[in-house]
Chain A
Amino acid sequence: MISPDSIGRTFPGTESITISQSEIDAFCAVIGETDSSIAPPTFSIRISLQQSEVILTSPEVGIKWDRLVHGDQKFDIKRPIKAGDVVTCSSTIESAREVAGNEIISVRSDISSAEELLVSSWSTLVIRA
């Protein structure tokens, strides 16, 4: 079960991540995108989902990642990510509820470069009973 104290909390991204051209190229190659001058629309999941795993599986939150299923996903792109961006990702556990023994957790991730918000995304994660 998720720790009730963690619901509504924002976990600031303290680690700066420098986006490389090679990681954008690799993502583009999977989907057949020939223009890798900017990251494709869903590229930021590479950053946000990894961060969510670290936060949600920390002892203070207490989620078991191996029972996790991705329920839905939404992106709001203010400015596409590109190589050379130095970004941080803050994550907020917006809500958690239980349905038939499964925990349904909504996480918002905000990816910023300096003070500029680049991408906000929302993930619904289902922790199966």
Chain B
Amino acid sequence: MVNVGDSRMIKDQVLAEKVFYLNRALLKQYADASGDQNPIHQDEAFAKSVGLPDVIAHGMLTMALVGKYVSDAAGGSAKVLEFGGRFTKPVIVPAGHDVDLTVSATVSDVAQGKATLSISATSAGVKVLGMAKAVVAL
């Protein structure tokens, strides 16, 4: 039987890039939705007082957006079985700016009804997630 539909993936396939935009308002929205009200994600003076260049996005906001990319690629959140990554550099969000989060992925393996995606995520050209991988149901 041949599988058709959005979730069809073959090994070494390169998935389309998607760009998300983050700004201070989105960080506040994520703080409320996640319960993580750490001031380094909202208060510029506080962030700088602890040695950060500016307000930074929650690592888990970055991962939530990359998770949306994976859900879309897989044909829905229900198909996402495993998802992980390492926070290599913060996404820096200056006031009054929309900062990019550019996500792409390659299908690194297909076996037993599942595909493994190797994911790239950068902001302002800097890699923000390392070793990012997801396993999705086909």
Chain A residues within CB distance 8 Å of chain B: 23, 26-27, 29-33, 35, 38-42, 45-46, 49-50, 69-77, 80, 122, 124
The stretch from B3-11, B30-38, B106-114 touching chain A is B30-38
Which B residues are CB-close (under 8 A) to A33? 68, 71, 77
What sequence of 0s and 1s flags, for each residue 59-87 of chain B, a beta carbon within 8 Å of any chain A beta carbon?
A: 11101110110110000111011111111
Contact B34 A80 (CB under 8 A): no
Closest 7 CB pairs of A and B: A74-B84, A72-B86, A41-B67, A26-B33, A31-B68, A41-B80, A70-B59
- Against A, the Cβ 8 Å flags (1 = close, 0 = not) of B16-56 are 00001000001001101111100000000000000000000
Not counting A27-B34, A31-B65, a sample of 6 additional A-B residue pairs whose C-beta atoms are within 8 angstroms of each other reads A27-B64, A30-B26, A38-B77, A42-B60, A70-B59, A76-B82
A124 CA to B86 CA, complexed, in Å:
9
The DSSP consensus for interface residues of chain B is helix
**Residues of A close to B59: CB separation below 8 A:** 70, 73
Complex-state Cα separation, A33 to B32, whole angstroms: 17
Q: A23's contact among B33, B36, B86, by CB below 8 Å, is which?
A: B33
Q: How far is the CB of A15 from chain B (nearest CB, A)?
A: 14
A38 to chain B, nearest CB (A): 6
> Which residues of A lie under 8 Å from residue B84 when comparing CB positions?
72-75, 122
Q: Do A71 and B86 have beta carbons less than 8 Å apart?
A: yes
